[in-house]
Amino acid sequence: MEIAEHLLYTKDHEWINIEGDEATIGITDYAQESLGDITFIELPNIGDEVEQFGDFVSVESVKAASDIFSPMSGEVIDVNDDLKEDPGLINRSPYDKGWIARIKLADPEEQSNLMTAEEYAKFLESVG
Amino acid sequence: MKLIFEKSVKGRQGFQNPRSDVDLKAGIPSQYLRKVDCPFPEVSELDVVRHYTALSQKNYSVDTQFYPLGSCTMKYNPKFTETVAAIEGFCNLHPLLPQLKQGEKFVQGALEVLYHMEQLLCEITGMDRFTMQPMAGAHGELTGAMMMAAYHRRKGNRKKYVIVPDSAHGTNPATAATAGYEIVSVQSDQNGVMDINDLKDKITDEAAGLMVTCPNTLGIFNSEADKIAEMVHAVDGVMYCDGANLNAILGRCRPGDIGFDVVHVNLHKTFSTPHGGGGPGAGPVGVKKKLMPFLPISMVDRCDDGTFYLNYDYPDSIGYLAPFYGNFSIILRAYAYIIMAGEEGLREVSNHAVLNANYIRQRLKERFHPAYDRLCMHEAVFSASKQAERGVHAIDIAKYLIDQNMHPPTVYFPLSVKEAIMIEPTETESKETMDRFIEACFQADDLSREHPEAFHGLPKTTPVTRPDEVKAAREIHTNYFQNR
Amino acid sequence: MFPYIPNTDENIKDMLKAIGVPSIDALFEDIKLRHKPRSFNIPEGKSEFEVIEHIKRLASKNVAGLIPFIGGGYYDHYVPSAVMALASRGEFYTAYTPYQPECSQGTLQALFEFQSAICALTEMEVANASLYDGGTALYEAVMMAGRITGRDKVIMDGGVSPIYRKMIRTYTSNLHYEFRETPVVHGQSSREEIEKLLDEKTAAVILQNPNFFGTIDDHADVIEKARHLGALAIESVYPISLGILKTPGAMGADIVTGEGQSLGIPLNFGGPYLGFMATRKKYIRKMPGRIVGETTDRNGQRCFVNTLQAREQHIRREKANSNICTNVALCALQSVIYMSLLGKQGLKGLAQLNLDKAEFARREIEKIEGVEVKRSSPTFNEFTVYLPVDASIVAEAMIHKGFAAGFPLGRYYKGMEQYMIVAVTEKRTKEEILGYVKALKEVLA
């Protein structure tokens, strides 16, 4: 199970990569593997306001539909349009080509509610 | 196999319309006309007969295979009910006839069937009235949930959510949501029934009611059902019984007597109307007095002179659920089944459904992990957890059974059991059939020890094997004309 | 003994022994004494012969042999013998939902063909594998439009079946929808009234063609106006008419629904029937109900599966598009067999035949003194007749002359007590039509 070092994580298996006052969001390797082959993702609209741990997008696999929550609050400024044609990118490259959206952060303080890579690794062990 | 559209040959015809005897050709202004003829296939009747006969042979069915699909009650469907449904005086009866002035006079036989069926269902379930309108089980649930909402609105109750157990069928939460309620889920305890303590925490004044299958989806009758009903009634909640599993308790107990206020009955399960490859069914809903004012209209009532009429005079009714009086020809089949069975027959149905399920449960538990190691009702739930450790999952065992010429049990339901395998043999299967099934399950277990990898190539005997469902969901090709 | 239970006394003994309980009663230990039924008073069982005789007696209490000129959305069409001969094969009839695609390819392919036929009929891009009936299909279309647009105002044309309109209001009574109904003018949708109500809060406009009065319309202009404001157009259709009439697809409709009873399904005193639904491909994930998709198996062979199941209740639970569980697979099968038998030319010919016979009946009925046939707009196989007296009295008197003469509109439309809709299908002969006219004359005399 791959965990990327430089990212922050949520208990719902989302990751966020903070770069200044902007950030990229995706789901973890663990999440993509538990979902199985992803067949569809309903992307947010640019300009949408999202709240930390609030509803963000929903992804579908053959046998499941899951809600993905936003790791931090902010405004959506970009979405990964490649996922519309090829949602399998999330399975193949969860931390890179399978990114979901970029947001402009509303409150950088919120990152204190997230886990580091090391903490996330421990969390994964604890959930088995 | 080719699609019927791919067998089309220009100019070929499969049916001759009646000849026109009116010596007139009517026209419609061209702006209202279709520009291109409807591209239905051009095939002969024999083409059609061979095509659909060949397709039928690609199905497993109760008539051809053991079909122990848990929670679906795939019992044998007696052929005489088809004779009954085809009786001319019923099958060609127009539903608007009784809505003409004095029209009920012309459909007394049909109304009598509905009236007597209602009485029979009331007696079987212990309810006070039944609506025949709901056209399926899930439709019955929706009817019940809407009556629940109407009841609370009437009483000015401020209710927010409906409680469902974690083992509930997906239609329960979906229904409650469609009726405008939020969902609160209650865990199962170590005996496979609702955890009373968890339930206590979740019952508040805002609980509109509780929706529970009885016996539950784990095949267990909850002995505390009546006490749970008291708890729900204490907050003026409505007890809803999903009657999907009524086959287990006919003559043994009645939902109405143990505190349920609403029950839906799946006629296509308990009363043996054909499942038709996924419908049509029928899901009549029974209620206790306190919910009667909210029943959908119309209801069949009886005049003093003994004749039957459609009563629309229910001012608090939730309204019209079906265009007419429900899936009449399904109701008629189930009615025929019940009057043939009679009291003794119905009791025997449950006795043997439960006996058969327990036989399978007892024999299989030697190799498969029972979800709950205790007596069951009409179905037995196992987990393929031991086999999964060897890399063989519930779905692989299902595919193995297909190769043994049996329809697999339900797998991966209830969601609360990992690797669930849910087996419902029904009362119409013989011991020999069940022994063959048990033997096949043992062989699957043997193979999971010896050659777990062998499962991945299964099934081998079917026309197709392991369809690529990911491709289907990603490419979305849902009709012949799409890429044309 | 109930004949469908094969266990013998010997079997019972062996099984109880294997289970380790002394009796069948012991298996029911969880049902306590206090749960025992207060009564279970069901009449004694009967033999197959007795049951059939009993039900035949009941059937004879229904009036027999009425010649039907009654429609209202449910029509007396001929069903070719091959339809039931094939659909009643046990392999179709006694199977269930195709959960295991390998042993359900028959049902799955037939449903894929059904979806294809519905797309052909309506000229829409995608269709589902059926819903309960035309009314519930229309309600589901309203919900779907709400999901797509995020809006909650719905405009219903007065020409939409009043039965469907009542059903929709029932189903949405706990949800936040605002319904506005618009009148029918000269038999067609009132453009003026619909435009007045159309705004940026409108989720959908519901239309029907031919409408409940039997008149034909081309809704392309209404649909265009709705589109400009981001509202969807839902069109409810009568499938047989689409053999010749402009399709909802050609009009630009977004969601199409209908009652498929006319496609090879008997009237059955109200059910089971066949709801269908078609839409644009871009809305497929918002569509309720089962959908069958084509794919390939491990060996690259074409095959069919239930697809896009993540929309459905068994996965989404309370977030599902609908609480619907099954479809009406058997009715869908009957209809696809029917549509295949008819074929391209058969459907067109059938539609024309309905039109011709109805036109003949119209002309003959018009000749009766005091009777007026509404001709402000073209009609298909059903039309509105104005009578010199209350239509419900006429309909009742006509039954005594052996005719189900039509459906009086007063029941559903205030002020239309003297109007009646009359349907004429391909099954009505010239002789029956002339007999009807003669009887009507006598009744009115």
Delimit the domains of chain A by residue range. 8-108
Nearest to B240 by CA among B120, B142, B327, B167: B142
Percent of chain B with pLDDT over 70: 100
First to last CA, chain B: 19
Please tell me the pTM assigned to this model: 0.96
Write down the pLDDT at residue C149. Answer: 96
Cβ atoms < 10 Å from Cβ of B7: 18
- Under 8 Å between Cβ of C438 and C405: no
Contact C309 A39 (CB under 8 A): no
Provide the edge-to-edge strand list for the sheet that holds C382-386.
C372-373, C382-386, C419-423, C407-408
Task: Report how far residue C349's alpha carbon sits from residue B13's, in angstroms, rounded to the nearest whole number.
Answer: 11
Write down the pLDDT at residue C321. Answer: 66
Nearest C-alpha of chain A: how many angstroms from C236? Answer: 29
- Under 8 Å between Cβ of B350 and B251: yes
Task: Report how far residue C111's alpha carbon sits from residue C335's, in angstroms, rounded to the nearest whole number.
Answer: 10
Half-sphere exposure of B299 (CA within 13 A, CB side): 22
- Helix (H) and strand (E) counts for chain C? 14, 17
Write down the pLDDT at residue B348. Answer: 97
Residue labelled with tokens 């520009």 = B35
Task: Report how far residue B132's alpha carbon sits from residue B138's, in angstroms, rounded to the nearest whole number.
Answer: 14
Contact B45 C82 (CB under 8 A): yes
Model confidence at B176, in pLDDT bands (50, 70, 90)?
Answer: confident
Half-sphere exposure of B387 (CA within 13 A, CB side): 33
**H helical segments located in B260-305:** 267-270
Structure tokens belonging to residue B299: 């209801």
Task: Report how far residue B66's alpha carbon sits from residue A10's, in angstroms, rounded to the nearest whole number.
Answer: 47
C328: Cα separation from own chain's centroid: 10
Task: Report how far residue B376's alpha carbon sits from residue C30's, in angstroms, rounded to the nearest whole number.
Answer: 9
Note whether B453 contacts A: Cβ–Cβ < 8 A.
Answer: no
* Chain segment B32-65, per-residue pLDDT in tens: 999 999 999 999 999 999 999 999 999 999 999 9
Q: Give C293's contacts in chain B (Cβ within 8 Å).
A: 472-473, 475-478
Q: Which domains does chain C have, with CATH numbers?
A: 9-56 (no CATH), 67-78+347-444 (3.90.1150.10), 81-337 (3.40.640.10)
Nearest C-alpha of chain A: how many angstroms from B32? Answer: 39
pLDDT at residue C325 is higher than 70: no
Structure tokens belonging to residue B222: 């909850």
- Chains with 3 or more CB pairs closer than 8 angstroms to C? A, B
**H helical segments located in B277-368:** 328-364
Write down the pLDDT at residue C318. Answer: 67
* Chain segment C271-284, per-residue pLDDT in tens: 999 999 999 999 99
Write down the pLDDT at residue B209. Answer: 96
Write down the pLDDT at residue B171. Answer: 81
Write down the pLDDT at residue B174. Answer: 82
Write down the pLDDT at residue C376. Answer: 86
Write down the pLDDT at residue C74. Answer: 98
Task: Report how far residue B121's alpha carbon sits from residue B262's, in angstroms, rounded to the nearest whole number.
Answer: 12
pLDDT at residue C319 is higher than 80: no
* Chain segment B259-282, per-residue pLDDT in tens: 999 999 999 999 999 999 999 999
Q: Give B470's contacts in chain A (Cβ within 8 Å).
A: 37, 39, 61-62
Note whether C141 contacts B: Cβ–Cβ < 8 A.
Answer: no
Instruction: Tell me the DSSP string of B427-438.
Output: TTS-HHHHHHHH
Q: Give C291's contacts in chain A (Cβ within 8 Å).
A: none
Instruction: Tell me the DSSP string of C15-52.
Output: HHHHHT-S-TGGGGTTS-GGGS-S----PPP--HHHHH
Nearest C-alpha of chain B: how many angstroms from C230? Answer: 25
* Chain segment B58-117, per-residue pLDDT in tens: 999 999 999 999 999 999 999 999 999 999 999 999 999 999 998 999 999 999 999 999
| Residue of B101, B135, B340 with shortest CB distance to C48 | B340
* Chain segment B214-245, per-residue pLDDT in tens: 999 899 999 999 999 999 999 999 999 999 99
Task: Report how far residue C168's alpha carbon sits from residue B350's, in angstroms, rounded to the nearest whole number.
Answer: 38
The amino acid that residue B232 corresponds to is V
Structure tokens belonging to residue C282: 């871009």
Nearest C-alpha of chain C: how many angstroms from B266? Answer: 12
Size of interface B-C (CB pairs under 8 A): 701
Cβ atoms < 10 Å from Cβ of B188: 23
pLDDT at residue C422 is higher than 80: yes
Q: Give A65's contacts in chain C (Cβ within 8 Å).
A: 310-311, 315-316, 319
Model confidence at C315, in pLDDT bands (50, 70, 90)?
Answer: low
Write down the pLDDT at residue C320. Answer: 67
Contact C315 A40 (CB under 8 A): no
The amino acid that residue C265 corresponds to is I
User: Does the CA dihedral C91-C96-C102-C105 come out positive or negative?
Assistant: positive
pLDDT at residue B484 is higher than 80: no
Q: Which residue of C has its CA nearest to A38?
A: C310
Note whether B391 contacts C: Cβ–Cβ < 8 A.
Answer: no
Contact B470 A60 (CB under 8 A): no
pLDDT at residue C142 is higher than 70: yes
Nearest to B132 by CA among B313, B276, B300: B300
Can you give the three-state secondary structure of C189-210, one letter per residue? ECHHHHHHHCCCCEEEEEEEEC
- Among B341-345, B382-386, C158-162, C316-320, name the one with the lowest average pLDDT: C316-320
Write down the pLDDT at residue C294. Answer: 97
Nearest to B73 by CA among B143, B139, B137: B137
- Tens of pLDDT along chain A (128 residues)? 788 889 999 999 999 999 999 999 999 999 999 888 999 998 999 999 999 999 999 898 887 788 899 999 999 999 999 999 999 999 999 999 999 999 999 999 999 999 999 999 999 998 76
Helix (H, G, I), strand (E, B) or coil at C185: strand
Q: Give A60's contacts in chain C (Cβ within 8 Å).
A: 308, 310
Q: Which of C1, C5, C34 to mutate to test the interface with B (most CBs of B within 10 A)?
A: C5
Contact B469 A88 (CB under 8 A): no
Write down the pLDDT at residue B169. Answer: 79
Instruction: Compute the mean pLDDT over every residue in chain C, rounded to the nearest whole number.
Output: 95
ipTM value greater than 0.90: yes
Structure tokens belonging to residue C156: 């219903």
Nearest to C174 by CA among B445, B299, B147: B147
Model confidence at B166, in pLDDT bands (50, 70, 90)?
Answer: confident
Write down the pLDDT at residue A127. Answer: 79
Q: Which domains does chain B have, with CATH numbers?
A: 4-56 (no CATH), 83-339 (3.40.640.10), 349-470 (3.90.1150.10)
Instruction: Tell me the DSSP string of A39-94.
Output: EEEEPPPTT-EE-TTSEEEEEEESS-EEEEE-SS-EEEEEE-THHHH-TTHHHH-T
pLDDT at residue C160 is higher than 70: yes
Note whether B469 contacts A: Cβ–Cβ < 8 A.
Answer: yes
Nearest to C276 by CA among C315, C304, C314, C242: C242
Q: Any residues with CB less than 8 A from the CB of A121 and at least 6 apart, and which?
A: A3
Nearest C-alpha of chain B: how many angstroms from C347? Answer: 8
- Among B335-344, B408-417, B420-429, C133-142, name the one with the lowest average pLDDT: B408-417
Contact A65 C285 (CB under 8 A): no
CATH of domain A8-108: 2.40.50.100
User: Does the CA dihedral A69-A74-A79-A80 come out positive or negative?
Assistant: negative
Model confidence at B172, in pLDDT bands (50, 70, 90)?
Answer: confident
- Among A51-60, B429-438, C75-84, name the one with the lowest average pLDDT: A51-60
Write down the pLDDT at residue B243. Answer: 94
Note whether C319 contacts A: Cβ–Cβ < 8 A.
Answer: yes
Contact C433 B101 (CB under 8 A): no
Note whether C48 contacts B: Cβ–Cβ < 8 A.
Answer: yes
